[in-house]
Amino acid sequence: MHGLMMSMPLQISSLLRHADRYHGDTQIVSRTVEGGIHRYTYSEAHRRARQLANALGALGVRPADRIGTLAWNGFRHFEIYYATSGSAAICHTINPRLFPEQIVYIVNHAADQYVFFDLTFLKLVEGIAPHCKGVRGWVAMTDKAHMPDSTLDLLCYEDLINGHSDDYTWPEFDENTASSLCYTSGTTGNPKGVLYSHRSTILHAYAAGLPDALNLAARDVVMPVVPMFHANAWSLPYACPLAGCKMVFPGAALDGASVYELFETEKVTMSAGVPTVWLGLLQHVEQHDLRFSTFRRTVIGGSACPPAMIRTFEESYDVQVLHAWGMTEMSPLGTVCTFKSQQANLDREAQYALQAKQGRPIYGVDMKIVDDDGKELPWDGKAFGDLLVRGPWITAEYLGGEGGNPLREDGEGRKWFPTGDVATIDRDGFMQITDRSKDVIKSGGEWISSIDLENTAMAHPAVKEAAVIGVVHPKWDERPLLIVVKKPGAALAREELLQFFQGKVAKWWLPDDVVFVDELPHTATGKVLKTKLREDYKAHKLPGT
Ligand code: ADP
């Protein structure tokens, strides 16, 4: 027997229609690539998205066609999100920080029909275009006045939509239709395409807004610092219209001074980004002795958030840190770290220890840790194993069947996605990542958590950023090598830093050596590029070997 409720497919177009109808005057503010600030409302965004949907139709874009973007966070990118998915085409966000060869691979693999790009990426586009034969047109996301000279015959975004009316009715279709596409960063092997559906996106957006997730309300002013090409900016372009938040897009200016300026002028209350961006912001406010007038909470994920950063945000700036974990394959949100009632009265130190964990699953995500034989491990906060997840916004397979079937089936016929992370889960259900499985340091048959050591190093006041990798050791197989970037002007010696570890980690975890460097290499999504560090230091001679 079926229930007797209205049957309405969950569709992305409904988010913008809702924002237009009930939050029509709420603003969307963008720092533009051309210079200056652009400001309009959800109503105008909706109108222009409909014009763009008509323009796409006139270009011959059909349902399921992939439309690529190489763009920062801004109002035109937002319009493309909705015009493509809303008209049953697929919004394919491409990370412009990848190597050009990887971008060529991705554009061709996805069979993108058109690629929309910000002017910043003109040279990149001119370089890759000859290798992307299937692309029918390259659209510069600007107006006529700013159209660049180019070796390519470019289309102009504003000209494209100006010629079209906003008379467009979003079509209704099956909620399982593909909506958007994002490739994993591919630090190992070729990037793989994660294909989201309307249903998975809407369910994820509902969950993202929950109080124990990103906690979004219509009174919030939200700045997604995390790029819209990084796992759909962690759902904010969907979850903000759902909640009716004012949105502030930072464009290409992600340095501390520019982000701080927009926070203050637009009265931003909430933001989200990877730890490296916040390092830049904190450095700026510390150097200039600034305070935040309205900024009260920030979501930090993509890499482990160092406890020292949580402490600085909360104690010095009264900004609540929501430590979150997820991955492109998970749309991306999996867990967020917020307290339960029984933890509200813990002393502050115990709370900080808890906040270093990646947190509890949002309803919709189920998780477990297993040993090498697939046997579930206890939730005691100590046992660690492979972290598996399942849920309606988690990938079942990659585009084109790339890499085969990624899922593992348990004894009861349930399918799980292996995250590639190694984690513990405590009895309250708080998960803590100890490592990416390929980054674990194996010393004498035991595992050392590189994240724990990095967090400890970053608690030292002279340390800006730290990474720990395993280096070959004749007796122990591998031993930890600590690679450190000092804060500008700070003095710090190897022995002093090693001394700082005493009593904070098990003795046999102590790094065998410390190397000071000017900067660490990062991946296209802001994680420390450990494959490069392992390559660079593979011949490093540890003391006593
Ligand atoms: P995203 O693009 O969303 O960063 P990726 O698929 O590139 O996702 O990377 C996901 C991986 O990033 C996770 O499997 C995990 O190893 C790492 N990661 C994400 N968030 C955290 C976190 N809070 N702490 C530790 N590692 C994290």
DSSP assignment string, 318-387: --EEEEEEE-GGGSSEEEE----GGGTTS-HHHHHHHHTS-BEEPTT-EEEEE-TTSPBPP-SSS--EEE
Write down the pLDDT at residue 187: 62
Q: Which atom of ligand 1 is nearest to the CA of 300?
A: 23
Q: Which atom of ligand 1 is nearest to the CA of 185?
A: 7
Q: Is the peptide bond before 332 cis (omega within 30 degrees of 0)?
A: yes
Cβ pair 527, 302 in contact under 8 A: yes
Which residue's CA lies nearest to atom 5 of ligand 1? Answer: 327
> Which pLDDT tens digits describe the chain residue by residue (545 residues)?
999 999 999 999 999 999 999 999 999 999 999 999 999 999 999 999 999 999 999 999 999 999 999 999 999 999 999 999 999 999 999 999 999 999 999 999 999 999 999 999 999 999 999 999 999 999 999 999 999 999 999 999 999 999 899 999 999 999 999 999 999 976 667 899 999 999 999 999 999 999 999 999 999 999 999 999 999 999 999 999 999 999 999 999 999 999 999 999 999 999 999 999 999 999 999 999 999 999 999 999 999 999 999 999 999 999 999 999 999 999 999 999 999 999 989 999 999 999 999 999 999 999 999 999 999 999 999 999 999 999 999 999 999 999 899 999 999 999 999 999 999 999 999 999 999 988 999 998 888 999 999 999 999 999 999 999 999 998 999 999 999 999 999 999 999 999 999 999 989 999 999 999 999 999 888 899 999 999 999 999 999 88
Pocket test for ligand 1, best of 214, 303, 360 (most atoms within 8 A of CB): 303
Cβ pair 201, 238 in contact under 8 A: yes
Query: From the CA of 327, how far away is ligand 1's center (Å)?
Result: 5
Query: From the CA of 241, how far away is ligand 1's center (Å)?
Result: 25
Write down the pLDDT at residue 351: 95
Phi, psi of 5 (to 5 degrees): -100, 155
Pocket test for ligand 1, best of 98, 232, 327 (most atoms within 8 A of CB): 327
Which residue's CA lies nearest to atom 26 of ligand 1? Answer: 303
* Residue 41 CB neighbours (<10 A): 17
Strand order in the sheet with 155-156: 155-156, 137-140, 112-117, 66-70, 90-93, 178-183, 193-197
Which residue's CA lies nearest to atom 3 of ligand 1? Answer: 327
In terms of phi and psi (left: phi > 0; alpha: psi -120 to 50; beta: otherwise), the region of 111 is: left
Write down the pLDDT at residue 408: 96
Question: What is the rounded distance in angstroms from the CA atom of residue 211 to the CA atom of residue 319?
Answer: 16
DSSP state of 150: -
Pocket test for ligand 1, best of 433, 454, 468, 531 (most atoms within 8 A of CB): 433
| Residues identified as active-site | 184, 329, 442, 447
Q: Which atom of ligand 1 is nearest to the CA of 329?
A: 6
Query: From the CA of 53, how far away is ligand 1's center (Å)?
Result: 33
- C-alpha dist (Å) from residue 473 to 73, 350, 441, 540: 45, 36, 11, 10
Cβ pair 388, 380 in contact under 8 A: no
Query: From the CA of 325, how far away is ligand 1's center (Å)?
Result: 6
Write down the pLDDT at residue 185: 73
For residue 134, the SS3 value is: coil
DSSP state of 163: T
Query: From the CA of 474, how far away is ligand 1's center (Å)?
Result: 32
Query: From the CA of 424, how far away is ligand 1's center (Å)?
Result: 16
Q: Which atom of ligand 1 is nearest to the CA of 230?
A: 2
Estimate the crossing angle of helix 13-23 against helix 236-243, to 10 degrees. Answer: 40
Contacts of 510 (CB under 8 A, 6+ apart): 480, 498, 501, 502
Q: Pocket residues for ligand 1 (CB within 6 Å)?
A: 184-185, 230-231, 301-305, 323-328, 332, 358, 419-421, 433, 436, 525
The distance in angstroms from the start CA to the end CA of the chain is 72
Write down the pLDDT at residue 445: 83
Q: Which atom of ligand 1 is nearest to the CA of 301?
A: 23
Which residue's CA lies nearest to atom 27 of ligand 1? Answer: 303
Query: From the CA of 530, how far away is ligand 1's center (Å)?
Result: 13
Query: From the CA of 77, how far away is ligand 1's center (Å)?
Result: 24
Question: What is the rounded distance in angstroms from the CA atom of residue 343 to the CA atom of residue 167?
Answer: 53
Q: Which atom of ligand 1 is nearest to the CA of 327?
A: 8
Please tell me whether the overall predicted TM-score, pTM, comes out greater than 0.75 for this model.
yes
Pairing mode, strands 408-409 and 385-390: unpaired
Pocket test for ligand 1, best of 335, 357, 419, 527 (most atoms within 8 A of CB): 527
